[in-house]
Amino acid sequence: MVDVFSGRLLVSKDGRSVDPEEALQNKVVGLYFSAGWCSPCRDFTPVLCDFYTELLEETEPPAPFEVVFISSDHSAEEMVGYMRAMHGDWLALPFHDPYKHDLKKKYNITAIPKLVIVKQTGEVITDKGRKQIRDKGVSCFRNWLEGADIFQNFSS
């Protein structure tokens, strides 16, 4: 994962710059391609928030999971508004970073919302994260963890 965002900074919901190497190390990462103007995105984002909260705040130790939002909003202001209003406490690629176009191409994003679950190398575990969360809830995380080659004591 560190490979995917190497040399870039991510931002937190409150606008702080975050080093992806530190934040994403040894974690399963959900690349969340979404936008505030998209109603299916606004439908799924609260579901993802609950999933994220359950994995990170309601399990001991917190699950090795992080979300990185890749925005398709029309402006930086829209992106920040969407993040503040609806998002969990996860990370985002800055709005003006042109790398979002490379990521959309690399992960074959043709429609949003899309949640692509990747391992450390950026290799895809599943591109059906949204469907799996809707169908199985937090139990799908165990499969992602196995696919990610991260060995940790995690029980849900």
What confidence score (pLDDT) does residue 156 get? 43
Residue 117 lies in a domain: yes
Residue 2 lies in a domain: no
Residue 156 lies in a domain: no
Beta bridge partners of 17: 11
Residue 134 lies in a domain: no
Give the distance between the most distant pair of CA atoms in the chain.
Answer: 41
User: What stretches in the chain show pLDDT beneath 50?
Assistant: 153-156
pTM: 0.92
Residue 155 lies in a domain: no
Q: What is the domain-level CATH number for residue 93?
A: 3.40.30.10
| Count of C-beta atoms within a 10 Å radius of residue 115 | 22
Which pLDDT tens digit goes with each residue over 23-49? 998 899 999 999 999 999 999 999 999
Residue 29 lies in a domain: yes
What confidence score (pLDDT) does residue 150 get? 62
Task: List the domain range (segments joined by +) for residue 53.
Answer: 10-127
Q: 72 with 35: CB under 8 angstroms?
A: yes
- Domains in the chain: how many in total? 1
The H or E element that residue 76 is part of is helix 76-86
Q: How many residues does the chain have?
A: 156
Tokens representing residue 135 in the block = 């169908």
Residue 147 lies in a domain: no
Residue 142 lies in a domain: no
What is the rounded distance in angstroms from the CA atom of residue 92 to the CA atom of residue 83?
Answer: 9
